[in-house]
Amino acid sequence: MTATASPALVAFDDAIARFDPVLGLEVHVELNTASKMFCGCAAVFGAEPNTQTCPVCLGLPGALPVVNETAVESAIRIGLALNCEIATWCRFARKNYFYPDMPKNFQTSQYDEPIAFNGYTEIDVDGEVFRVEIERAHMEEDTGKSLHVGGATGRIHGASHSLVDYNRAGIPLIEVVTKPIEGAGKLAPVVARAYVAHLRVLLSGLGVSDVRMDQGSLRCDVNLSLRASADAPYGTRSETKNLNSLRSVERAVRYEVSRQAALLDSGERVVQETRHWHEDTGITTAGREKSDAEDYRYFPEPDLVPIAPDRAWVAQLQATLPEPLAERRTRLQTVWEFSDLEMRDVLGAGAMLLIEQTVAAGASPTAAKKWWLSELARRANDAGTTLEELSITPAQVAGVQALVDTGRVNDKLAREVLEGVLAGEGEPADVVSARGLEVVSDDGALTAAVDRAIAHNPEVAAKIRDGKAAAAGALIGAVMKELRGQADAARVRELIVEKLG
């Protein structure tokens, strides 16, 4: 690590009492097209290094890019879903820079002619509607992935050289940029998080991206500045790059508010620079200062012809957009029969999508909500991740509930099954077999255990014989203890009543 003295921080509430934060959010979304933006290489995550490259995405001499039509269609649909205008004519541009994550020494992007611009979206912040204005959504390509060798942790510091995998270079990317978000005040961190969560749900509904923040298919850069009051001119902003979880978006905003307030308090200036977020320590550190090196010398890409989306095509895409999120929320709440309070909890936990998918996989809405908002929320919180980042799918959660519904496991065992799935032990049924978690409902085994419980607790047995049915609980408990919680409690009660009733 560089030995940058971390400045004193101003407590967040204190900072917000004296400064007005202005946010700007840039979200990069990798599209889930089969092939890359400008070539036919597969765009799959996780392939062996450099198995998905060709002369076009390696930038070899003479190679000519051709635009992926589905990527353009996805870009237009994203623009429309964000209430943007769609360009009648636009071009790609070369963003020139020297960095080995792009072998071409430029990234094909859009500059002053984005395909979608001037939109808005309405997000839910603690049950209130908050409108976020959208500046633009433009098309570009993702970069390669660098691995830094020789450093302690795969980071740049101390690295002797870097190794680059270009599988990701050229995967279609849409960058969605907000206009400055004012008026969030102390809710700024929550607004930032809610906006990214909202985009995730919206994009997932469009089916255009996997929106996996943990795999980098959705990443967020946060611009933040402070000013003395809501009518003062904007302050100098910092840009915190590549936040890859909802939680880090929120934390980074809080941290930057505290850091910048401390600088301004001590009469120092905020430097316009990119900053890196450190998940482990919860701080940002300085990256590049904005300088001459940031002069990207954009110019229209001469290897690609302009795009002029046909108005009939745009109208057709508009007509086939999925229902807007606000309506989807209302509809799901009705279908699920959740109260306003329950729905607010669901939205607050960012679990609407997960519950929807869990229900689609066969669980009841109540059961789906129960698992995601209690047991799994607790585990996500303990691990410092979000629900989506847990290594369990909605289908697996539905699978666990199915085991409960069919009586193969009880609630206590179900939690162990979840634990096994999260630990990577396979599907719910595999975990049940491997860990031997099945409920014992075999009468032979249960009868023997009940007999032993009666023999060991003669006073309790006597009470039940005298008609005190409530005392049966103690015997059920004894049977459960002997069978390590895996007894079918209802059947045990029946057996006790049969013997002593």
Site residues (vs Zn ion, CB under 5 A)? 39, 41, 54, 56-57
Helices (H), 106-223: 188-206
What is the nearest approach in angstroms of another protein to the Cβ of residue 393? 25
Using CB under 8 A as the binding rule, whether residue 276 contacts another protein is answered as yes
Nearer of residues 305 and 360 to another protein, judged by Cβ = 305
Both structure tokens of 26:
């840039």
Both structure tokens of 95:
């963003």
What does residue 410 show for φ and ψ, rounded to 5 degrees? -100, 180
Using CB under 8 A as the binding rule, whether residue 177 contacts another protein is answered as no
Both structure tokens of 383:
């691990």
If binding means CB under 8 A, how many residues of this protein chain bind another protein? 68
Nearer of residues 146 and 366 to another protein, judged by Cβ = 146
Nearer of residues 52 and 258 to Zn ion, judged by Cβ = 52
Dihedral sign of CA atoms 423, 428, 429, 435 in order: positive
Nearer of residues 39 and 203 to Zn ion, judged by Cβ = 39
> Among 123-131, 163-171, 227-235, 440-448, which window interacts with another protein (CB under 8 A)?
163-171
Contact yes or no for 115/307 (Cβ under 8 A): yes
Nearer of residues 141 and 388 to another protein, judged by Cβ = 141
Euclidean distance between CA atoms 249 and 54, whole angstroms: 35
Virtual torsion, Cα 384, 389, 390, 392, nearest 10 deg: 180
Euclidean distance between CA atoms 182 and 185, whole angstroms: 8
Using CB under 8 A as the binding rule, whether residue 77 contacts another protein is answered as no
Euclidean distance between CA atoms 143 and 161, whole angstroms: 18
Of another protein, Zn ion, none, which one does residue 160 interact with (CB within 5 to 8 Å by kind)?
A: another protein
Q: Pick the closest to residue 260 from 500, 443, 20 (CA basis).
A: 20
Give the containing element (helix H, strand E) for 219.
Answer: strand 218-227
Euclidean distance between CA atoms 492 and 101, whole angstroms: 64
Of Zn ion, another protein, none, which one does residue 33 interact with (CB within 5 to 8 Å by kind)?
A: another protein
Of Zn ion, another protein, none, which one does residue 235 interact with (CB within 5 to 8 Å by kind)?
A: none
What is the nearest approach in angstroms of another protein to the Cβ of residue 161? 5
Using CB under 8 A as the binding rule, whether residue 91 contacts another protein is answered as yes
Both structure tokens of 248:
């880090």
Give the number of residues written for the chain.
501
What is the nearest approach in angstroms of Zn ion to the Cβ of residue 110? 20
Nearer of residues 9 and 54 to Zn ion, judged by Cβ = 54
Using CB under 8 A as the binding rule, whether residue 245 contacts another protein is answered as no
What is the nearest approach in angstroms of another protein to the Cβ of residue 153? 11
> Among 126-134, 158-166, 189-197, 456-464, which window interacts with another protein (CB under 8 A)?
158-166
Dihedral sign of CA atoms 113, 76, 121, 371 in order: negative
> Among 145-153, 439-447, 452-460, 486-494, which window interacts with another protein (CB under 8 A)?
145-153
Q: Pick the closest to residue 111 from 83, 87, 76 (CA basis).
A: 87
Longest dimension (CA), the chain: 94
What is the nearest approach in angstroms of another protein to the Cβ of residue 210? 15
> Among 130-138, 140-148, 248-256, 399-407, which window interacts with another protein (CB under 8 A)?
140-148
Of another protein, Zn ion, none, which one does residue 356 interact with (CB within 5 to 8 Å by kind)?
A: none
User: What are the CA-CA distances from residue 217 to residues 43, 44, 101, 203, 493 (Å)?
Assistant: 11, 11, 17, 11, 52
> Among 66-74, 116-124, 418-426, 486-494, which window interacts with another protein (CB under 8 A)?
66-74
Q: Characterize the bridge pairing of strands 218-227 and 20-30.
A: antiparallel
Nearer of residues 26 and 438 to another protein, judged by Cβ = 26
Interacting residue ranges for another protein, rule: CB under 8 A: 33-35, 39-42, 48-55, 58, 60, 66-72, 89, 91, 96, 98-101, 103, 143, 145-149, 155-156, 159-166, 242, 274, 276, 287-288, 292-293, 295, 297, 299-302, 304-310
